[in-house]
Structure 1
């Protein structure tokens, strides 16, 4: 089983497919830092598969260089990461490069196409700030590039992920156009809003998951069962060392606690190193606000409102809207609120619940909320890394989706073989 990942980001969706035994033919991603992250993850999986995981650890510990790490990786794997923007000007070159890698990997056709165009243009917040509803935003039309891949490679199944706002953008016309183009390309499609929390992710995160299959195949949208559990968000945080605002642990050790959630969902394993436990600085005024917000939640289970702050802490003229601009990631709840890419700009919406630390969540804590395993290393500076994490599909959710599709795909393949 193989797949191509478009608009791949840091690889959250791809991770779910790799963990189910799929082979990536190509990841296409225009962001340089995200592409480097994908390269690092490809190296991790390859080295683990051939029993040389110690080389990956050496890289994390900065005992070997990036060039030395890359020297262990076969060319066809390194060449599967295409750091290039998908556009009318580049698509032929992308097709050619993927075609070459398809041959090198020994495949004659593509089984799955996955990924989703950047979603900012479809977001409700994005449209609220644009009086024209972003109708002229070129990102609204990237789905047409996605459809070109469907037409060219004719994969058996595809997974198209996006924010719920895509359903209502342009009064619903945009989504009708999306599905219309996919139908014309030869695919039956169905879309549902799925919540990552229903898959075992400790985060409320709703996404549109559109699944399509070639019209000549017998396929259905999977029936996903809601995962029941009793875990809390604090299970993601309590084994990590305490940090002060601005402190960081690039390579370090965990606390002794090993929460069951981390074991059950393979977020932390015995051989893992703690990496990228990096917190951002907090100025004096924001520190006071953070402290009040933490106290208000931990003692009263209430969110602090901006217009409730002492006068000396209010600096914005607007005290009538966006009143929840300071928000605690509540450790005593079953799910965090949605993690988004804005965390790269400030941490006000993601305050750590520990009153002794008074900071926003670290890079590693954000990655855990998104369900990335601790052995997932993100390349780039802190802002770039937060952006990658905030934009990602939670790997645990992706793993469940890939597993359900794999089961149906194998049955389909078996029935076709028996018919022959």
Structure 2
């Protein structure tokens, strides 16, 4: 079974399908750093299947070295993958102008695979134009944003390749945007090219992820197939957010860990979720620096949360720590990750800006999350290597579909499609 991955990001959705046994035809993504992450991950899958992971681990150890060394070592790493083996990562914006070129590359890949059919199309266009927050902040309610209509380009892939089914992931706001008319148009376009569709809201925390992340998953299937919406069994989570944090070396603000090893052995949740294995290499565990005032606020926020599970409001702070004039909105700008709860609040791309919304729950560390901690809350495995600077890493993670959530959806599809 294979899939075509549109608007791929760093590959959270495709990682779940790869783990479920699907093969990627190609990934299409605009962001250059995300594309490099996808290429590195593709190399990982090749090395793993050919018992060559030591090469990959040697590359992981370049994380703490200069960019020049990393670039050279990455070039060397990718040279070990035979030509035509690694699935193509197409670094293009999906547009009317680029579609012919993209289609040509996909057709060429199908020829190499000796396959003329795509089983599944997955992916979701950028969600900013559909999000409630995005519409609230834009003076025109995002009505003029061209990203509103990327679904039409998604449908062009359905029309050309006629996959058995597709998975279209997005934020809940897609159902209500423009008084619900946008979603009606999406339905009409998808039905016009031969698909029955159904949309449901799914929360990642119900699928084993230690994070509340509500998403709309639109599933479509060709009208000639006897198909239905996945019956996904909800997980009963008996773990806490601290379970994905406590085995990592402790850091203070501004500190970085360069040892590649862990503080403790992996606990049951980390093993069951596939986040860590016994011989993994620890990377991306470097803490941001914070100014003294923010560190004082962090301590107050963590102390208040850990004592009575109460979120601090900006207006609660001592006057000496207040610097913003806006005392009526965005009062939750400092937020602690709920280590003592079964799930955290949603990790979004805004984490790349300052970390104030993602304060580590351990008051002795007094800092915001590292890239690796954010990745773990998103259920990315520790062997997932994010390319680019730290800011780009955070954006990739915040925009991703949790791989564990994707895997649960993919497993159902694989079982069902195998019967068709």
After superposing the two structures, state which structure 1 stretch, 241-250 or 209-218, moved more: 241-250
Q: Quote the residue 1:122 is aligned against.
A: 130
Mapped to 2, the partners of 1:329 and 1:77 lie a distance apart of 41
The 8 Å contact of residues 261 and 282 in structure 2, kept in 1 or not, is answered as: yes
The equivalent residue for 1:46 is 46
CA distance in 2, matches of 1:122, 1:30: 19
Query: 1:156 maps to which residue?
Result: 164
Residue by residue, what CA displacement relative to the aligned partner does 1:77-135 show, whole Å, maximum 9, x if unpaired?
44611011100110000000110011111211100000000001111111001132111
Deviation at 1:251, TM superposition (A): 5.0
Match of 1:340 in 2: 348
Q: Given the alignment of the two structures, is residue 310 of structure 1 paired with residue 323 of structure 2, yes or no?
A: no
Q: TM-score scaled by structure 2? A: 0.96
- Displacement of 1:352 in angstroms is 0.1
Q: Separation in 2 of the partners of 1:134 and 1:78?
A: 38
Aligned to 1:60: 60
Question: 2:237 is matched with which residue: 218, 229, 243?
Answer: 229
SS at 1:76's partner residue? coil
Whole-Å separation in 1 of the counterparts to 2:259 and 2:147: 38
Matched with 1:319 is 327
Give 2:27's aligned residue: 27
CA contact (8 A) 2:25 2:87 kept: no
Which residue of 2 is the match for residue 74 of structure 1?
82
Residue pair 1:240, 1:255 contacting (<8 A) in 2 also: yes
1:379-394 alignment, distance < 5 Å: 379-394=387-402
Task: Check whether the contact 2:46–2:86 (CA below 8 A) recurs between aligned residues.
Answer: no
CA RMSD of aligned residues (A): 1.1
Unaligned runs of 5+ in 2: 63-69
- Stretch of structure 1 that moved more, 52-61 or 74-83: 74-83
What residue is the counterpart of 2:257 in the other structure? 249
Report the alpha carbon displacement of residue 76 of structure 1 after superposing the two structures with TM: 2.2
SS at match of 2:40: helix
What whole-Å deviation, never above 9, does each CA across 1:45-66 have from its counterpart, x for those lacking one? 0100011111111111239711
TM-superposed deviation, 1:75: 2.4
Among 393, 399, 408, the alignment partner of 1:400 is: 408
**Matched residue, 1:417:** none
2:42·2:87 contact (CA, 8 Å) conserved in 1?
no
**Rounded Cα–Cα distance in structure 1 between residues aligned with 2:124 and 2:237:** 29
Contact 2:9–2:400 (Cα < 8 Å) also in 1 = yes
Deviations 1:173-198 (A, max 9, x none): 01111111000011000000000000
Partner SS, residue 26 of structure 1:
strand
Give a deviation string over 1:246-272, Cα, whole Å, max 9, x none. Answer: 222255210124221001111100120
Contact 1:250 1:276 (C-alpha < 8 Å) held by counterparts? no
Structure 1 spans left out of the alignment, 5+ residues: 413-420
Residues 1:196 and 2:204 are matched in the alignment: yes
Secondary structure of 1:132's aligned partner:
coil
SS across alignment from 1:122: coil
Q: Distance in 1 between matches of 2:334 and 2:94?
A: 37
Which residue pairs with 1:5 in the alignment?
Answer: 5
Question: Of 355, 359, 363, which aligns to 1:351?
Answer: 359
> 2: distance between equivalents of 1:246 and 1:155?
48
Structure 1, residues 318-346: CA drift from partner, whole Å, max 9, x if none?
Answer: 11111111000011000000110000111
Q: Distance in 1 between matches of 2:237 and 2:32?
A: 38
Q: How many residues align?
A: 412
The CA deviation at 1:237 is: 0.4
CA distance in 2, matches of 1:25, 1:350: 36
Q: Distance in 2 between matches of 1:29 and 1:254?
A: 33
Q: Residues 205-220 of structure 1 correspond to what in structure 2 (within 5 A)?
A: 205-220=213-228
Residues 93 and 131 of structure 1: CA distance in aligned 2, closer, same or farther (over 3 Å) = same
Deviations 1:196-239 (A, max 9, x none): 00000000000000000000111000111110121000001000
Distance in 2, Cα, partners of 1:74 & 1:251: 32
1:266 is matched with which residue?
274
Q: Does the 8 Å contact 1:326/1:351 carry over to 2?
A: yes
- The alignment partner of 2:275 has SS state of coil
State the SS of the aligned residue for 1:133: coil
Cα distance in 2 for partners of 1:267, 1:78 equals: 23
2:184 is matched with 176
- Paired with 1:308 and 1:296, the residues of 2 have a C-alpha distance of 11
